[in-house]
């Protein structure tokens, strides 16, 4: 049975350590000499807005536990439609948090790529991934807990979507982002999920949502299980979240909480305001705007575009 731990507190370093101890300790997951790749949520955030990207304190706490065990620790993120990963890794404070504790920091959109084939794919039959990710012995996903207009929630599985080196990821929205997420995780299932729910984002995620203090760290030895427990804590029904449903259907992990051994703060609840699901941005629209707007202006434009779309959706559904 997969295990998920929930720890409540105000000091990320202690919370991460306690959450992992409840799962059997870091030695259960990492062997001496392992190359460990850590995937935070970075390019889905807004600089200075807590809850929109993974907290640097959570990253440094995890790296501190890995030091002396892993031969090499790498923290990485891929470019997105709006953001340059190198800049975001620096501006969010994650680069400094990682490098100060001896980890490497990489842009997954730069450097050598390898092609991976997805068996029994829902949508994405093959894709390219950074050689850094492909050659890591262990993958640890460290998402921030967010509501998301396209996927209901943005947690471990959605975070792995950001590992794709393709900058213009909006093209995958047209294919069916939930199916694409499930296909990616078929090939690269994280060994361990450390969900940063110290501060999350509710409402109009992933950009325009409201930061909410949760004071939680949720860890799991299976990404689907960790996301299912986190989603339940936030007031969602895990089996109704499409990418979790698809991942479970593929045998990647359970969405039924009765099939998960939950340790720690079992009864905790933090009801999220849900994102207005159904708003779409990117794809061909993004390509048109990209041709008209300088690269440096894309970020602010997309935030404004998204806000207008949310307002239109709300008026339509009043």
Interval 82-98: pLDDT, tens: 899 999 999 999 999 99
pLDDT surpasses 60 at 252: yes
Helices (H) and strands (E) in the chain, counts: 11, 12
Whether residue 107 lies inside any domain: the answer is yes
Which stretch of DSSP H or E encloses residue 107? Answer: strand 104-107
Whether residue 314 lies inside any domain: the answer is no
Only one residue has tokens 């501060």, namely 199
For 198, the token pair is 């110290």
pLDDT, residue 280, reads: 46
CA distance 77 to 224: 21
CA distance 146 to 152: 9
Model confidence, pTM: 0.88
CATH code at 61? 3.40.50
For 306, the token pair is 């998204």
Q: What is the CA radius of gyration of the chain?
A: 18
**Per-residue pLDDT tens over the stretch 21-70:** 999 999 999 999 999 999 999 998 899 999 999 999 999 999 999 998 89
The torsion of the CA quartet 242, 248, 250, 253, rounded to 10 degrees, works out to 140
CB 274 within 8 A of CB 152: yes
**Per-residue pLDDT tens over the stretch 69-80:** 899 999 999 998
pLDDT, residue 277, reads: 64
pLDDT, residue 36, reads: 98
Structural domain boundaries enclosing 169: 2-280
pLDDT surpasses 90 at 291: no
Whether residue 289 lies inside any domain: the answer is no
pLDDT surpasses 80 at 305: no
Whether residue 240 lies inside any domain: the answer is yes
For 296, the token pair is 């440096």
pLDDT, residue 275, reads: 86
CB 22 within 8 A of CB 264: yes
CA distance 81 to 162: 11
**Per-residue pLDDT tens over the stretch 160-212:** 999 999 988 878 877 799 999 999 999 999 999 999 999 999 998 888 899 99
Q: How far is CA 90 from the centre of its chain?
A: 18
Q: What is the DSSP string of 248-287?
A: HHTTS----GGGEEEEESTT---PPPPP-TT----HHHHH
Whether residue 134 lies inside any domain: the answer is yes
Only one residue has tokens 């995780």, namely 185
pLDDT surpasses 80 at 221: yes
How many domains does one find in the chain? 1
pLDDT surpasses 70 at 284: no
Whether residue 291 lies inside any domain: the answer is no
For 213, the token pair is 């203090």
CA distance 176 to 194: 26
Distance linking the first and last C-alpha atoms of the chain:
44
Max CA pair span of the chain: 57
Only one residue has tokens 């030091």, namely 67
CA distance 175 to 178: 9
**Per-residue pLDDT tens over the stretch 95-138:** 999 999 999 999 999 999 999 999 999 999 999 999 999 999 99
Picking from 166, 177, 143, the residue whose alpha carbon sits closest to that of residue 45 is: 143
Q: What distances in angstroms separate CA 295 from CA 81, 82, 287, 289, 292, one per listed residue?
A: 10, 8, 12, 10, 9
pLDDT band at 315 (very low <50, low <70, confident <90, very high): very low
pLDDT surpasses 70 at 286: no
pLDDT, residue 278, reads: 56
Q: Is 42 exposed, middle or buried (0-12, 13-18, 19+ CB in 10 A)?
A: buried
CA distance 66 to 197: 20
Whether residue 310 lies inside any domain: the answer is no
Bond before 214 cis per omega within 30 degrees: no
Whether residue 300 lies inside any domain: the answer is no
CA distance 148 to 89: 21
């Amino acid at each position: 049975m997969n295990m998920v731990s929930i720890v409540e507190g105000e000091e990320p370093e202690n919370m991460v350590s306690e959450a992992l101890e409840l799962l059997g300790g870091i030695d259960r997951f990492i062997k001496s000499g392992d190359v460990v790749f850590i995937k935070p949520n970075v390019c889905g955030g807004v600089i200075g807005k807590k809850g929109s990207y993974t907290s640097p304190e959570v990253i440094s706490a995890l790296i501190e536990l890995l030091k002396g065990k892993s031969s090499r620790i790498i923290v990485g993120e891929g470019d997105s439609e709006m953001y340059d990963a190198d800049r975001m890794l620096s501006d969010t404070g994650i680069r400094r948090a990682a490098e100060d504790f001896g980890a490497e920091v990489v842009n997954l959109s730069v450097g050598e790529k390898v092609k991976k084939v997805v068996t029994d794919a829902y949508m994405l039959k093959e894709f390219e991934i950074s050689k850094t990710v492909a050659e890591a012995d262990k993958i640890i996903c460290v998402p921030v807990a967010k509501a998301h207009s396209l996927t209901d929630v943005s947690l471990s599985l959605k975070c792995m979507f950001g590992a794709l080196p393709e900058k213009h990821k909006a093209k995958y929205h047209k294919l069916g982002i939930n199916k694409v997420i499930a296909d990616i995780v078929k090939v690269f299932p994280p060994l361990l999920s450390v969900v940063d729910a110290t501060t999350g984002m509710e409402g109009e995620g992933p950009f325009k949502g409201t930061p909410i203090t949760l004071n939680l760290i949720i860890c799991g030895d299976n990404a689907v299980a960790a996301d299912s427990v986190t989603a339940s804590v936030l007031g969602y029904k895990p089996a109704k979240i499409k990418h979790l449903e698809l991942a479970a259907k593929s045998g990647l992990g359970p969405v039924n909480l009765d099939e998960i051994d939950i340790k720690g703060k079992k009864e905790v609840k933090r009801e999220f305001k849900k994102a207005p699901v159904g708003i779409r941005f990117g794809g061909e629209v993004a390509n048109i705007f990209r041709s008209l707007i300088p690269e440096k202006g894309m970020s602010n434009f997309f935030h404004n575009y998204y806000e207008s779309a949310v307002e239109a959706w709300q008026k339509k559904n009043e």
